[in-house]
A and B are shown apart, each in its own frame.
Chain A
Amino acid sequence: MKDYLVLRVVSKLLISLMILFGLYVQFHGDFGPGGGFQAGVIIAAAIIFYGIIYGLPAARAVVPSGLVEIMIASGVLIYAGVGVAGLLLGGNYLDYFVLDRDPVAGQHRGIFWVEIGVLITVAGVMLKIFYMFAGRGGDNRDDA
């Protein structure tokens, strides 16, 4: 679909805004609706959108399949790592109170990293699903 001028221009405008909005949803999740899951889906949607307009190889060039697999695993690891950090600092598993001298700031810090982990894994899984479905049947046509 990259022959369509309108689509190309609009997509370039939108994709950066989508990623920005995803980051807003991520970091505003403390105060309003949102959080890692929604932000991960939005950011993955921006990449998928890019893939639909410019073709699967172009999307794969931006976010390679190997990176997607690393994302899926490392997000879970970050989440679990926050729990282990709580253990190492003398608290229980996933204890955010001990992550900072101020317990409230500790709670903030804990959920911040947990949500980062969620973002990375969710975005990775979404992209993995898209790549697997879009890559089926070996049709690597650019207009797919």
Chain B
Amino acid sequence: MITPHFPILQVVLPLIAAPVMVLARRGTLAWLLAVAVSWAGLYISLALLAQVADGGVISYAIGNWPPPWGIEYRIDRVNAFLLVLVSLIAAVVVVYSRASIGAEVPREQQYLFYAMYALCLAGLLGIAATGDAFNLFVFLEISSLSTYVLIAMGRDRRALMASYQYLIMGTIGATFYVIGVGLLYLMTGTLNMADMAARLQDVTEVRPVLAALAFITVGVCLKLALFPLHVWLPNAYAYAPSAVTAFLAATATKVSVYVLLRFYFSVFGASAVFAALPMGKILLLLSLAAMFIASAIAIFQADLKRLFAYSSVAQIGYITLGISFDSVTGLTAGIVHLFNHALTKGALFMLLGCIALRLGGVRFDNIRGIARVMPVTSFGIVLGGLSLIGVPATVGFVSKWYLVLAALESGQWWIALAIVLSSLLAVIYVWRFVEAAYFREPDPGIVKLKEAPLEMLVPAWLMIAGCIYFGLDASLTVDGASQAAATLLQGIR
């Protein structure tokens, strides 16, 4: 009886939990509630994925107003895959967050932290679940506004500046998105994405539609931190509380990538974007720039969190590179990397949070010899780093394998070469950690430290284990991604 309502419950459970947490005013109570809704959300998302596994579509009419008049939640294999990803990361990070947030956020603010976390989760899940372009904007704002607060809760006072910078950039992005949606509404008279796609076929005046495409592309690319629109990301990731960085790095940019995919393939149509316009070439160029320039910048960072933040910009380049091929293999590579990078980066930032808990920060000068006192954490970071490089038996290899396949399939062997070359840059920055943690004499202050508590290590290592498991047996993730890619490409051409 409750199953038909899963699409809305997925979004509304954390949304209702947030004000309840504020009323409860207790950190522990709020945390328990956050755990409950996160794990319920994971169950719901898995049930939804199972329901659409045969290629069906679930349509849910909010307020019983039939689409396209009312707001429609529309679950297909693409966003069901994303819902599982976001819910999974949320469920793991929330368990981890108690100890981490306990140390990094003042006690009297902790219940507000979990309320913001629940709102952010509701926003991200809402973006993924909705089939309404304006409703998507609303959830984009819910997730963004709560993200600004979450980042500003960082211990470092620079977190405020980072949050403000992201607020400006994020608002520009959301505004551009809504201008684009406004133009589309002007031309089609509808906000329902499926309806919009059908009506766009009959639109003869293409100039406003092109403007809409441009606005939505730039707006969404700001949110997903495509090079060179990434400038907000390194500071935001570096100064946010560790649990927030892990959560955002694994979900926020990924959800924005989904928005881009949805608009390119399900609303505008792949032929309008990639055949009639040079969007593929533009994306390709920016992706390559991200892969090389951001990786190169990452090498020179003095702070590990900033290093991996720049690495995130580079990894987003791999995702958009996959999209730019406009082929089943390319999209599969992009979507599977969405999942794989979320696992890898989530795990890495969680482990960095373990070090930050003991050490107060993760600058290279401070972590010398950390592997001797925190061997489990350090080894996890090394494994995560190997996955970033793309070593076989890790998820990073699976992504890059499909990316190289897609590049060869499109006959551009030099891109395959670029993928391998940019991975070498990842070797350098991961090696910097290995050198500092394993081959340097520890400072006297470090020797006294203990390993991080289990309640942080277990969730983080669960993600590392996922990196290895899905690296050895990629059938589950690659099947999900290739089905999602096929669904996207089935859309109007």
Residues of chain A touching chain B, judged by Cβ–Cβ distance below 8 Å, are 69-70, 72-77, 80-81, 83-84, 86-87, 91-98
Q: Is there an interface contact between A94 and B63, defined as CB atoms closer than 8 Å? A: yes
Q: Is there an interface contact between B18 and A92, defined as CB atoms closer than 8 Å? A: no
Residue of B nearest to A87 (CB): B5
Q: Is there an interface contact between B62 and A73, defined as CB atoms closer than 8 Å? A: no
A selection of 18 A-B contacts at a CB cut-off of 8 Å is: A69-B22, A70-B23, A73-B19, A73-B23, A74-B23, A77-B19, A80-B12, A80-B16, A92-B60, A92-B61, A92-B63, A92-B64, A93-B5, A93-B12, A93-B60, A95-B63, A96-B63, A97-B64
Q: Does B8 contact A (CB under 8 A)?
A: yes
| New A-B pairs, 16, CB < 8 Å, besides A73-B19, A87-B5, A97-B64 | A70-B23, A73-B22, A74-B19, A74-B23, A75-B19, A76-B15, A77-B16, A83-B8, A83-B12, A84-B12, A86-B64, A92-B5, A92-B62, A93-B8, A94-B63, A95-B64
- Distance to closest chain A CB from B132 (angstroms): 13
Pairs of residues from A and B, 8 with the lowest C-beta to C-beta distance, nearest first: A73-B19, A73-B22, A93-B8, A94-B63, A95-B64, A76-B19, A77-B19, A80-B16
Q: A72-B22, A73-B23 are in contact. Are A93 and B16 (CB under 8 A)?
A: no
- Distance to closest chain A CB from B123 (angstroms): 13
- Distance to closest chain A CB from B341 (angstroms): 33
Chain A contacts for B60, CB-based, 8 A:
92-93
A98 to B65 Cα, complex, angstroms: 12
SS class of chain A's interface: helix, strand, loop or mixed?
helix
Interface positions of B from 61 to 85, Cβ below 8 Å from A: 61-64
- Distance to closest chain B CB from A92 (angstroms): 5
Q: Is there an interface contact between A94 and B62, defined as CB atoms closer than 8 Å? A: yes
Q: Is there an interface contact between B19 and A93, defined as CB atoms closer than 8 Å? A: no
- Distance to closest chain A CB from B73 (angstroms): 9
A88 to B375 Cα, complex, angstroms: 52
- Distance to closest chain B CB from A98 (angstroms): 8
Chain B contacts for A92, CB-based, 8 A:
5, 8, 60-64
Q: Is there an interface contact between B64 and A91, defined as CB atoms closer than 8 Å? A: yes
- Distance to closest chain A CB from B487 (angstroms): 25
A96 to B18 Cα, complex, angstroms: 23
Chain B contacts for A94, CB-based, 8 A:
62-63
How many chain B residues touch the partner (CB < 8 A)?
Answer: 16
Q: Is there an interface contact between B20 and A77, defined as CB atoms closer than 8 Å? A: yes
Interface positions of B from 1 to 56, Cβ below 8 Å from A: 5, 8, 12, 15-16, 18-20, 22-23
Interface positions of B from 411 to 439, Cβ below 8 Å from A: none
- Distance to closest chain A CB from B54 (angstroms): 24
A72 to B12 Cα, complex, angstroms: 17
A75 to B115 Cα, complex, angstroms: 15
Interface positions of B from 289 to 342, Cβ below 8 Å from A: none
A95 to B8 Cα, complex, angstroms: 12
B18, B61, B62, B63: the one within 8 Å of A76 (CB): B18
Chain B contacts for A70, CB-based, 8 A:
23
A92 to B72 Cα, complex, angstroms: 11
Chain A contacts for B22, CB-based, 8 A:
69, 72-73
Chain A contacts for B5, CB-based, 8 A:
87, 92-93
A139 to B15 Cα, complex, angstroms: 36
- Distance to closest chain B CB from A12 (angstroms): 33
- Distance to closest chain B CB from A81 (angstroms): 8
Residue of B nearest to A96 (CB): B63
Chain A contacts for B20, CB-based, 8 A:
73, 77
Chain A contacts for B16, CB-based, 8 A:
77, 80-81, 84
Residue of B nearest to A97 (CB): B64
- Distance to closest chain A CB from B421 (angstroms): 50
Chain B contacts for A74, CB-based, 8 A:
19, 23
Interface positions of B from 269 to 296, Cβ below 8 Å from A: none
A84 to B18 Cα, complex, angstroms: 15
- Distance to closest chain A CB from B25 (angstroms): 8
Chain B contacts for A77, CB-based, 8 A:
16, 19-20, 23
Chain B contacts for A97, CB-based, 8 A:
64
A73 to B22 Cα, complex, angstroms: 6
- Distance to closest chain B CB from A94 (angstroms): 4
Chain A contacts for B15, CB-based, 8 A:
76, 80
Residue of A nearest to B21 (CB): A73
A78 to B5 Cα, complex, angstroms: 20
Chain A contacts for B61, CB-based, 8 A:
92
A70 to B421 Cα, complex, angstroms: 56
Residue of A nearest to B16 (CB): A80
Residue of A nearest to B7 (CB): A93
Chain A contacts for B23, CB-based, 8 A:
70, 73-74, 77
Most B Cβ at <10 Å: residue of A73, A87, A98:
A73
Chain B contacts for A96, CB-based, 8 A:
63
Chain B contacts for A72, CB-based, 8 A:
19, 22
- Distance to closest chain A CB from B205 (angstroms): 33
Q: Is there an interface contact between A86 and B63, defined as CB atoms closer than 8 Å? A: yes
A91 to B70 Cα, complex, angstroms: 15
Chain A contacts for B18, CB-based, 8 A:
73, 76
- Distance to closest chain A CB from B305 (angstroms): 29
